[in-house]
């Protein structure tokens, strides 16, 4: 059984008065998450909170012993949060359009499981290699996949904020799940697009691989995004496997 060290940090950024992002880390229960709300100040923040609370209820209910059960719990968390957000909108029609992108990373023994909807991301640093594990559910990602634009053009494209999947927008959302083994020394990063829109992978990996504690790395990532303009809320969750 590996030990996990986790840290989370969120910042409103330099432009927006309200923070619609949320994170949750629970090393004892073996999971962390990042959610990025959308749909207006109060509604977006509420969508993120609904997702985080639903995930906590499901993942902290009892100990999970195997990967298959963990995948089922993650699916349940995303689907129940989706239903709760839709029900909220039915009760408060002026919140129509609220939802959130969401990343969840959970561990069971020697394996990890990721649940992913939207354009928040999960990365992994392992043995000197930094890899983006999730693929954005966005219009510019689809355009990039089709060869219509380059990855560099996607970073500054006028439609880069158009999301194709989110939690709480429509019934039965399509969830991406990934799983695999974990090894001592692995570092996972979950983050909202407030980081990745302004800080490129080379700058992120420079911080991740540094011989500093996780709290310092989280602070540096937030600072880097703010120094680049801080145009959006910025949220990171870091996990180190020891």
pLDDT tens digits, one per residue of 150-159: 777 777 777 7
Domains annotated for the chain, with CATH where assigned, are: 4-135+166-241 (3.60.40.10)
pLDDT of residue 163: 86
> Which ranges in the chain belong to alpha helices (H)?
41-59, 67-91, 139-145, 151-156, 193-196, 201-208, 214-227
pLDDT tens digits, one per residue of 27-73: 999 999 999 999 865 689 999 999 999 999 999 988 777 999 999 99
Q: Largest alpha-carbon pair distance within the chain?
A: 50
pLDDT of residue 149: 78
> How many other CB atoms are found less than 10 A from the CB of residue 170?
12
Count Cβ atoms within 10 A of the Cβ of residue 36 and give its class: 0-12 exposed, 13-18 middle, 19 or more buried.
Answer: buried
Q: Which residues make beta-bridge pairs with 31? A: 26, 106
pLDDT tens digits, one per residue of 12-26: 999 999 999 999 999
Q: Which residues make beta-bridge pairs with 39? A: none
Q: What is the rounded distance in angstroms from the CA atom of residue 22 to the CA atom of residue 2?
A: 26
pLDDT of residue 104: 98
Give the pair of three-digit tokens for residue 17: 């008065």
Q: What is the rounded distance in angstroms from the CA atom of residue 120 to the CA atom of residue 116?
A: 8
Distances (CA, A) of 100 to 22, 40, 48, 236: 10, 11, 6, 15
pLDDT tens digits, one per residue of 95-144: 989 999 999 999 998 899 999 999 999 999 999 999 999 999 978 878 87
Q: What is the rounded distance in angstroms from the CA atom of residue 191 to the CA atom of residue 236?
A: 4
């Amino acid at each position: 059984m590996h030990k996990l060290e986790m840290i989370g940090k969120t910042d409103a950024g330099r432009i927006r008065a309200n923070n619609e992002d949320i994170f949750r880390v629970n090393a004892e229960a073996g999971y962390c998450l990042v959610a990025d709300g959308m749909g207006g100040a109060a509604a977006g923040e509420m969508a993120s909170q609904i997702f985080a609370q639903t995930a906590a209820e499901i993942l902290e209910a009892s100990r999970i012993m195997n990967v298959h059960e963990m995948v089922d719990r993650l699916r349940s968390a995303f689907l129940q949060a989706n239903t709760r957000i839709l029900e909220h909108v039915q009760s408060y029609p002026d919140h129509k359009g609220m939802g959130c992108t969401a990343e969840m990373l959970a561990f069971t023994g020697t394996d990890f499981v990721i649940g992913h909807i939207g354009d928040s991301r999960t990365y992994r640093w392992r043995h000197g290699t930094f890899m983006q594990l999730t693929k954005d559910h966005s219009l510019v990602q689809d355009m990039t996949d089709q060869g219509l634009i380059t990855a560099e053009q996607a970073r500054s494209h006028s439609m880069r904020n158009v999301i194709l999947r989110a939690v709480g927008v429509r019934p039965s959302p399509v969830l991406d799940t990934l799983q695999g083994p974990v090894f001592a020394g692995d570092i996972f990063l979950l983050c909202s697009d407030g980081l990745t829109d302004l800080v490129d992978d080379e700058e992120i990996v420079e911080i991740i691989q540094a011989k500093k504690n996780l709290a310092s790395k989280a602070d540096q990532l937030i600072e880097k995004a703010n120094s680049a303009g801080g145009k959006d809320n910025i949220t990171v969750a870091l996990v180190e496997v020891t």
